[in-house]
């Protein structure tokens, strides 16, 4: 069925994007710290003399240049007392959170090693890319001691809203939700698609809820921006849920033992389902449910999951790699290293209009709370208003 729930709409106005304000709020940078920017390109050599700017299709990389690189050199570095400001390009990985290649190219054409020439020599690293690099960059941050932010998929809507918010306030709001959801026993999600009802139960084992709140001021760590999310790494999962593939195909995922065991067609392309089934059979950990997340912010729909999954009333589950979230599924456990992705499956009126999320329930402290009903936050909004 087609859900008639209203799309989440921002109820506030946002100040203009300001890089100094963003960096100061997220990092609280110290004078003398060195900062750089990473981008991804199909041909990293096109970083030389900023040749990639000749390609109008590279909109994300253009934003990296115009809104971040140029802003740094037009005064942000001086105002914040930072040093550096260089830009480096690595080869596009082709998948969400796949390990990053080591080879990179500087804008003067010099070939470099990220591990030898970049990670050890910068305190703040901004990765503005096509595909998310949060998982691998988090691992490198812990190894080399830098702080960073991943901002994949940046577009004008994100710049005007999700990157223009006050992350001090985002952090405070996220903490209200975290405290109201932490140490839950389980969450059950009721779905409806093509006239059929389905339920997925995720066991949380009374773990501490975590928050993505945009502040990265302490030790080595990486913030995923835009931020604004409460998340868990499930201890197990059973049931079934509908999923929309990139080509619009709807499939039904059968889950047991914490993993998708089988995909079957609801409507669309049987070949899409068969390809997924082959992947599950050849590399079973690709079906592991490694995250359950809930958005915390009032934001406009951007058309990019990185922001749209942070909208209050939306939720997402993710398959695959979970080590960057505190889970145990690391890249070495995949049969094929190119399968070692972390893929968010977002449920929202804008992304999945064919799928109704009729109710999301949380069991905690002997009580059941309705978190979301038809994409409307119920208990979640109550927590924010307390």
* 239 plus 332 within the same structural domain: yes
CATH code: domain of residue 147: 3.40.50
Q: Which residues pair with 41 in a beta bridge?
A: 91
CB atoms near residue 373 (< 10 Å): 17
How many domains, in total, are found in the chain?
Answer: 2
* 51 plus 199 within the same structural domain: no
Judged against a pLDDT cut of 80, whether residue 4 lies above it is answered with no
pLDDT band at 6 (very low <50, low <70, confident <90, very high): very low
Question: Residue 104: inside a domain, yes or no?
Answer: yes
Q: Which residues pair with 311 in a beta bridge?
A: 297
- Residue 163 confidence (pLDDT): 98
Q: Which residues pair with 91 in a beta bridge?
A: 41
Judged against a pLDDT cut of 60, whether residue 43 lies above it is answered with yes
Cis peptide before 226 (omega within 30 of 0): yes
* 227 plus 311 within the same structural domain: yes
How many helices (H) does the chain have, and how many strands (E)?
10, 20
* 99 plus 191 within the same structural domain: no
Question: Residue 213: inside a domain, yes or no?
Answer: yes
* 265 plus 237 within the same structural domain: yes
* 245 plus 366 within the same structural domain: yes
Question: Residue 53: inside a domain, yes or no?
Answer: yes
* 113 plus 183 within the same structural domain: no
In angstroms, how far is the first alpha carbon of the chain from the final one? 35
- Condensed to tens digits (0 to 9), the pLDDT of residues 200-231 reads 999 999 999 999 999 999 889 999 999 999 99
- Residue 11 confidence (pLDDT): 58
Q: What share of the chain in percent tops pLDDT 90?
A: 96
The whole-number average pLDDT for the span 288-317 is 97
Question: Residue 26: inside a domain, yes or no?
Answer: yes
Question: Residue 8: inside a domain, yes or no?
Answer: no
* 172 plus 140 within the same structural domain: no
Q: Which segments within the chain are labelled E, that is strand? A: 34-41, 83-91, 103-106, 111-113, 124-127, 147-150, 186-193, 196-203, 210-212, 221-224, 229-232, 236-244, 250-256, 259-267, 289-295, 315-320, 342-347, 355-364, 367-373, 376-377
* 182 plus 148 within the same structural domain: no
Judged against a pLDDT cut of 50, whether residue 8 lies above it is answered with no
Question: Which one is predicted more confidently, 356 or 1?
Answer: 356
| The model's pTM | 0.94
pLDDT band at 9 (very low <50, low <70, confident <90, very high): very low
Rounded distance between C-alpha atoms, residue 123 and residue 152, angstroms: 20
CA 294-299-301 angle, 5° bins = 90
Question: Residue 314: inside a domain, yes or no?
Answer: yes
- Residue 118 confidence (pLDDT): 98
Judged against a pLDDT cut of 60, whether residue 343 lies above it is answered with yes
* 297 plus 337 within the same structural domain: yes
Tokens of 197: 């009802």
* 284 plus 355 within the same structural domain: yes
Question: Residue 258: inside a domain, yes or no?
Answer: yes
Domain assignment of residue 45, given as a range: 19-160
- Residue 386 confidence (pLDDT): 86
Longest dimension (CA), the chain: 62
Question: Residue 2: inside a domain, yes or no?
Answer: no
* 67 plus 178 within the same structural domain: no
Taking each helix axis from N to C end, the angle separating 19-27 and 167-181, rounded to the nearest 10 degrees, works out to 40
Last residue of a domain, one of 137, 160, 183: 160
Question: CB burial class (10 A; 0-12, 13-18, 19+) of residue 316?
Answer: buried
Last residue of a domain, one of 160, 188, 216: 160
With a CB cutoff of 8 Å and minimum separation 6, the contacts of 47 are: 39, 41, 87, 88, 89, 105, 106, 107, 109
Last residue of a domain, one of 123, 142, 160: 160
């Amino acid at each position: 069925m087609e859900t008639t729930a209203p799309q989440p709409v921002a109820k506030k106005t946002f100040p203009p994007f300001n890089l100094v304000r963003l960096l100061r709020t997220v990092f609280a940078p110290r004078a003398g710290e060195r900062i750089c920017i990473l981008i991804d390109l199909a041909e990293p050599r096109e970083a030389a003399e900023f040749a990639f700017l000749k390609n109008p299709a590279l909109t994300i990389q253009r934003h990296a240049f115009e809104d971040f690189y140029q802003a740094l050199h037009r005064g942000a570095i001086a105002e914040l007392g930072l040093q550096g400001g260089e830009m480096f390009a690595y080869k596009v990985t082709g998948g969400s959170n796949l390990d990053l290649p080591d080879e990179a190219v500087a804008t003067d054409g010099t070939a470099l090693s990220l591990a030898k020439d970049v990670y050890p020599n910068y305190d703040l690293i901004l990765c503005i890319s096509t595909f998310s690099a949060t998982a691998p960059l988090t691992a490198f941050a812990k190894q080399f001691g830098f702080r960073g932010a991943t901002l994949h998929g940046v577009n004008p809507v994100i710049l005007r809203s999700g990157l223009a918010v006050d992350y001090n306030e985002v952090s405070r709001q996220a903490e209200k939700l975290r405290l109201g959801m932490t140490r839950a026993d389980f969450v059950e999600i009721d779905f409806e698609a093509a006239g059929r009802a389905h339920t997925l139960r995720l066991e949380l084992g009374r773990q501490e809820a975590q928050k993505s709140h945009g502040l990265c001021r302490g030790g080595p760590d990486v913030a995923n921006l835009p931020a604004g999310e409460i998340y868990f790494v499930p201890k197990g999962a059973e049931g079934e849920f509908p999923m929309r593939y990139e080509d619009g195909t709807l499939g039904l995922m059968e889950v047991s033992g914490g993993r998708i065991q089988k995909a079957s067609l609801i409507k669309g392309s049987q070949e899409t389902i068969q390809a997924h089934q082959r992947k599950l059979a050849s590399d079973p950990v690709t079906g592991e449910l490694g995250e359950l997340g809930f958005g915390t912010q009032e934001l406009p729909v951007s058309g990019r999951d990185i922001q749209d999954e942070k909208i209050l009333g939306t939720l997402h589950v993710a398959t695959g790699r979970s080590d960057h979230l505190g889970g145990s599924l690391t890249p070495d456990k995949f049969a094929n290293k190119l399968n070692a992705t972390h893929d968010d499956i977002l449920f929202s009126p804008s992304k999945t209009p064919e799928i109704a999320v009729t109710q999301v329930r949380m069991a905690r402290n002997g009580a059941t709370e309705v978190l979301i009903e038809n994409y409307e936050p119920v208990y979640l909004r109550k927590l924010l208003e307390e």
